[in-house]
Amino acid sequence: MDVGTLLDRRRRPRRTVPADQDRILDKLDEIVSSPWRDPPDYGEPLQNGPYKKIRVGGFRLSVSFRQDDGRLVVARIKRRGGAYTADD
């Protein structure tokens, strides 16, 4: 039996189209290269967690900003409708 048939369809990750991927990458490039704002200023704090959210079109990114080594870490990318569910 194929592993894919064992998975519940609602729980499968949806694939993003290249245009959405480009939009997300462009936004992340904008954040890290902005001369006007520090990268942590772009994120809104999520409740009860170490991450901040960044909105990109219909997607929500859970990110953390590592000041010590200057990294932006993307923990999760989800579509807006399922971004803030109990499994977070």
**What does the pLDDT profile of the chain (88 residues) look like in tens digits?**
233 333 344 444 466 788 888 899 899 888 888 888 888 888 899 888 889 999 998 899 999 888 788 788 888 888 887 665 555 4
**H or E element at residue 64:** strand 59-66
**pTM of the predicted protein model:** 0.70
